[in-house]
Amino acid sequence: MTESVTLIDDLAVDGPSAPPRSNGELIFDFPWESRAFGMAVALAEDGAFTHADFQQALIAAIAEWDALGLPVANYRYYECWLSALEHLVHERTSTQIADIDERAENFLARPAGHDHDHDHDHDHHGHHH
Amino acid sequence: VTAHPHPHDRPAASVRAEALEALLTEKGLVKTTVIDGLISRYVNDVGPMNGAKIVAKAWTDGEFRERLLADGSAGVSEFGFSGPQGEHIVVVENTATTHNVVVCTLCSCYPWPLLGLPPTWYKDPAYRSRIVREPRVVLGEMGLALDPSINITVWDSSAENRYFVLPERPAGTEHLSEEDLAALVTREAMVGVAHVGAPA
């Protein structure tokens, strides 16, 4: 579709010609994970950073998590993904990490009943076999 | 209070993701509609079907199989598929004596254009570390019991090479068309954690 450097290269998709397949796998456990995914792909497609940049940042974020020595059950891939994204956004735009946290705190202070999902603590990990 | 930043000192990832999207949108760096479209594209349009078509072709066309095994990137490019920027696709073939399984021990390198988004377990630290140390045990836990006589080779994907398993064609499929064969091939089989089952 484009020849730009993309996080995930452009794909030749020839449409849903085959019958639906039952992979039965949740791709994203929570909506915010798909937003974090989409933001990274969009920024990479716009050239804000390269695929290699993101991959390095992601490897670093995962290594950082590994170094914390937390129980493996606590691991959330997309939290590392988000950390990598925040790091690159901070590095490549005028956005400060503190700005992100401040905005998040503001969102958390919203009155109850606001349409927001606080389900990130549930554990949906495990092999689907 | 420790001097070192700890992830739990920051707001939850779910809220930070929302905050980040709001900030990036305000700065004009991303558009919500573009993100919606990208998510939809990857969730709905890209599954393991591209890889399955390649496997079915390799099963039915010996010359294609040879080309694919000699140069995976060139082989898949015959279908118009390509690997992520600057990366090679390496196809490894399962036989009666050798079983191949793919992991990315550092993060989650995966042949996206062929298999869609990686499954949750592929990104799990347990899979990433244990499949290297004790592949036979992990595969058994995932439902693939291999005879002790079968050698297992574990391929660690990286920024340079993305591995893709060409599974064995199941017995009793000689009469099937390429399209019907493709429908049998699962993502798990192309990562090497399952066999392709015979048609029901």
**Contact call for A129 and B81, based on CB within 8 A:** no
Which residues of A are less than 8 Å from B182 in CB distance? 18
For B106, other C-beta atoms within 10 Å of its C-beta total: 16
* pTM of the predicted model as reported, rounded to 2 decimal places: 0.57
Q: Is B109 a catalytic residue?
A: yes
- Buried b / exposed e over B7-43, threshold 16 CB at 10 Å, is beebbbbbbbbbbbbbbbeeeebbeeeebeebbebbb
SS3 B163: strand
Nearest-CA neighbor of A38 among B128, B18, B7, B140? B18
Q: Is B107 a catalytic residue?
A: yes
Which of A3, A7, A14, A39 should we substitute to test contact with B (largest number of B Cβ atoms within 10 Å)?
A39
Size of chain A in residues: 129
For A15, other C-beta atoms within 10 Å of its C-beta total: 7
Tell me, what's the ipTM?
0.71
Residue A52 near chain B (CB below 8 Å):
yes
Q: Is B108 a catalytic residue?
A: yes
Q: How far apart are CA A124 and CA B185, in angstroms?
A: 26
Q: What is the number of helices (H) and of strands (E) in chain A?
A: 4, 0
Bridge partners of residue B162, in order along the sequence: B89
Among chain A residues, CA nearest to B4: A68
Q: What is the pLDDT along chain B (200 residues), one digit of tens a residue?
A: 444 445 558 999 999 999 999 999 999 999 998 988 887 766 655 567 788 999 999 999 999 999 999 999 999 888 877 655 557 899 999 999 999 999 988 877 777 778 876 777 888 888 999 999 999 999 999 999 999 999 999 999 887 888 999 999 999 999 999 999 998 998 899 999 999 988 87
Bridge partners of residue B101, in order along the sequence: B154
Cβ within 8 Å of residue A85, ≥6 positions away: A36, A39, A40, A43, A54, A57, B20
Among chain A residues, CA nearest to B121: A127
Residue A96 near chain B (CB below 8 Å):
no
